[in-house]
Amino acid sequence: MGAGHSHPLHLPGTSPVHRLPAEVKIVAAFLGVVCVVLTPREAFAVFGGYLVVLAAVWAVARIPPGWMARRALIEAPFVVLAVLLPLTGPDPRVEWLGLSLSGPGLLGAWGILVKGTLGVLTSLTLAATTPLRDLLLGLQRLRAPAVVVTIATLMLRYADVIAAEARRMRLARLSRGHDPRFLWQVGATARGVGSLFVRSYERGERVHLAMLSRGWAGRMPLLSTERTTPRHWALGMAPVAVAAALVVTAWVTT
């Protein structure tokens, strides 16, 4: 129950990637994924190139590839869509292990899976190397509206508290014999959600009063005075440049 200073996907470290300002990493991750999305799905080898770029970043950030692989298995409901595409897609059909699969459907499924996976790996890299505080600082420096940054800050500070409260309520239900299996047995859980809202809201009222009494005037204090230099940007954009070169290669060759 740490007070919101860490998050489950963070891998603390002091590598150059960890020390890079968050806004540089957010922009770099975003542009990298844009390159992946822009790549034609027929350019099979180029997707391997993106993986090599990511692996290089992991090597610099000292993130074990196994750590990444385990967390990349995030439940992806759109995998269902990707599985269905080859079965329901248009002709021509391809025979495979006795199944008649759609050629364009297979290509579509491949595209969704490979781009989705590279996207998840990129987001994981960002999450692994960026602590909460830096992320908020990054949002602030990327000119997100002040009210958004304030809400996000408080949300991240209190998400653990509220989640822990929800966990305790669940434990309390379970220890009183609550074992819901069907949707119509969901009443107790839902009433728990209701009281969780009331408790969260009332906690918000108390937090607001506490902040007022400590001089809150509607703006978060500046989270850091450190400056982001062009060198940081150059460093962060290096993998993006490689990704851009890859996407251009893909366009030229396919």
Partner 1 sequence: MTTAVPTAVHVTAMHMSDGLVNAPTAAVFGLVAVVAVALAATRSRADLDDRTAPMAGLVTAFVFAVQMINFPILPGASGHLLGGALVAILVGPWVGTLCIAIVLVVQALLFADGGLTALGTNITNMAVVGVWVGYGVAVALRRVARRSRAGLLATAFVAAFLNTVVAALAFVVEYAVGGAGGASPGTVLVLMAGLHALIGIGEGVITAATVGAVASVRPDLIHLLRRGSTTSPTSPTGTASSAGAPARADEGSPA
Of residues 8-67, those binding partner 1 (CB under 8 A) = 8-9, 26, 29-30, 33-34, 36-38, 41
Among 5, 19, 168, 191, binds partner 1 (CB under 8 A): 191
Among 57, 61, 132, 240, binds partner 1 (CB under 8 A): 132
CB 188 to partner 1: min, Å: 9
Closest to 123 measured CA to CA, from 52, 62, 74 = 74
Q: Does 93 bind partner 1 (CB under 8 A)?
A: no
CB 21 to partner 1: min, Å: 14
How many residues would you count in the chain?
254
Residue type, 64: P
Among 17, 43, 58, 89, binds partner 1 (CB under 8 A): 89
Closest to 7 measured CA to CA, from 161, 138, 131, 168 = 131
Residue 177 and residue 20 in contact, taking contact as beta carbons nearer than 8 Å:
no
CB 157 to partner 1: min, Å: 8
Q: Does 114 bind partner 1 (CB under 8 A)?
A: yes
DSSP class of 244: H
Among 11, 63, 109, 243, binds partner 1 (CB under 8 A): 109
Judged by CB, which is closer to partner 1: 26, or 53?
26
Q: Does 228 bind partner 1 (CB under 8 A)?
A: no
Binding mask 68-87 for partner 1 (x = CB under 8 A): ---xx-xxxxx-xxxxxx--
Among 15, 94, 150, 241, binds partner 1 (CB under 8 A): 150
Closest to 121 measured CA to CA, from 38, 51, 28 = 51
CB 63 to partner 1: min, Å: 13
Q: Does 105 bind partner 1 (CB under 8 A)?
A: yes
**Helical ranges in the chain per DSSP H:** 16-19, 22-38, 44-61, 65-71, 78-88, 103-129, 132-141, 146-175, 187-213, 230-253
Helix (H, G, I), strand (E, B) or coil at 100: strand
120: Cβ contacts below 8 Å, ≥ 6 apart: 72, 74, 76
- The residue count for binding partner 1 (CB under 8 A) is 105
Interhelix angle for 22-38 vs 132-141, to 10°?
Answer: 80
Q: Does 135 bind partner 1 (CB under 8 A)?
A: yes
CB 186 to partner 1: min, Å: 5
Q: Does 171 bind partner 1 (CB under 8 A)?
A: no
Q: Does 172 bind partner 1 (CB under 8 A)?
A: no
**Alpha-carbon distances of 244 from 31, 32, 37, 149, 171, rounded to whole Å:** 9, 8, 11, 31, 50
